[in-house]
Amino acid sequence: MASARDLFIRISDAFWSESIWLPPNTTWKIYEDRAGGINYAQFNDIYYSLLTAIVILCIRITFERLIFRPLGQALGISDRPRVKLEKNEVLEKAFRINRRPSPSTIQALSKRTDLSTKAVESWFNRRQAAVKPTTLARFTESSWKCTFYTFSFFFGVWALWDKPWTWDSMHCFIDYPHHSVSSEIWWYYNIELGFYISLIISQFFDVKYSDFWQMFIHHVVTVLLLCFSWACNLHRIGTLVLIIHDFADIPLEGTKITRYMKTPRLANVVFSVFLICWIYSRLGLLPTRVIAYSTYYALSILPMFPAYYIFNGLLCTLQVLHIVWTWLILKIAHNAIFVDGVKDLRESDDEDDD
């Protein structure tokens, strides 16, 4: 009878089979580091990103508390929910059990409190509003994300400026899998992967939006995409995905910041910049400079293997999410032009419009 250790070894060997992760007639030995500082992507490097995620979370907490929160307060951004609520122990206890009671529960609470059903519903609505994140909390979150995206984008520009695949995507696949990893690319991947891991963790504590699960899927797919591309030494195409994403995320968070500052004209201007950046990067560059090359042009020089299909599947999943969000963004643009300015439609319907 095989021991647990032997079983684990067999499962590990099957999972890391060269026939799954590497092109035909290729072994893991090609990724061994060479003399002269020639290094290749090692899957164990991904573990460093877990530590990086913790460091990023600590930096975020520090920045939010010492910089962005005081800045928001100096700008007069509200830190209090605009809700007046009467104390009611019966309703409070019911709220802790279920924040969205059924009509029958409301009827029962109405009898217990000698309040009308309308008054009970109103109390629950106002109680919901009281626990919503304040405008200042949203401002600090967006300020942190905008700061990180700005840093990572310009770090990516610096790291990729002299790389041939930045200007010709075919170089992502020419001479593959013999692609060494420079120190700046290693750090770029490590920091970005750490950041997206931190987003998966912090999303459960951050401001909740109506597309919570779409965003969660996006973060998980991005982490898987980075891990797969690193394990398969497809980091070149991965770096293009990262810098294209960061490009539009900067004005996205900038739009939120200016809205929370209650500067509608500036918010409309920044949103216009974001709209251009989003369409250019997510609907232009990503499909034409990344997905088209990875799924079509690369076939002429690169033999297919199972992990590569998974990698392309993750890329296409990201693009589907981008198309869904584009519809939402165009809806925001319509409201900005024909209704009452920019509003973040990702907010839950029951949130106030801080």
Sequential DSSP letters for 55-95 = HHHHHHHHHIIIIIHHHHHHTT---S--------HHHHHHH
Please check whether the domain covering 89-130 is classified as CATH 1.10.10: yes
Buried b (16+ CB within 10 A) or exposed e, 36-72: eeebbbbeebbeebeebbeebbeebeebbeeebbeeb
| Choice between 300 and 8, residue whose per-residue pLDDT is larger | 300
Percentage, residues of the chain above pLDDT 90: 46
pLDDT band at 347 (very low <50, low <70, confident <90, very high): low
Rounded to two decimals, what is the model's pTM? 0.82
pLDDT of residue 340: 61
- What residues does CATH 1.10.10 cover in the chain? 89-130
Over the chain, what is the mean pLDDT? Answer: 85
Give the DSSP H/E element, type plus range, for residue 214: helix 212-231
For residue 87, report the phi and psi dihedrals to the nearest 5 degrees.
-75, 135
**pLDDT one-digit tens code per residue, 55-104:** 999 999 999 999 999 999 999 987 776 666 677 777 778 777 777 788 88
| Choice between 54 and 335, residue whose per-residue pLDDT is larger | 54
What average pLDDT does this structure show over 170-175? Answer: 93
Q: Say if residue 345's pLDDT is above 50.
A: no
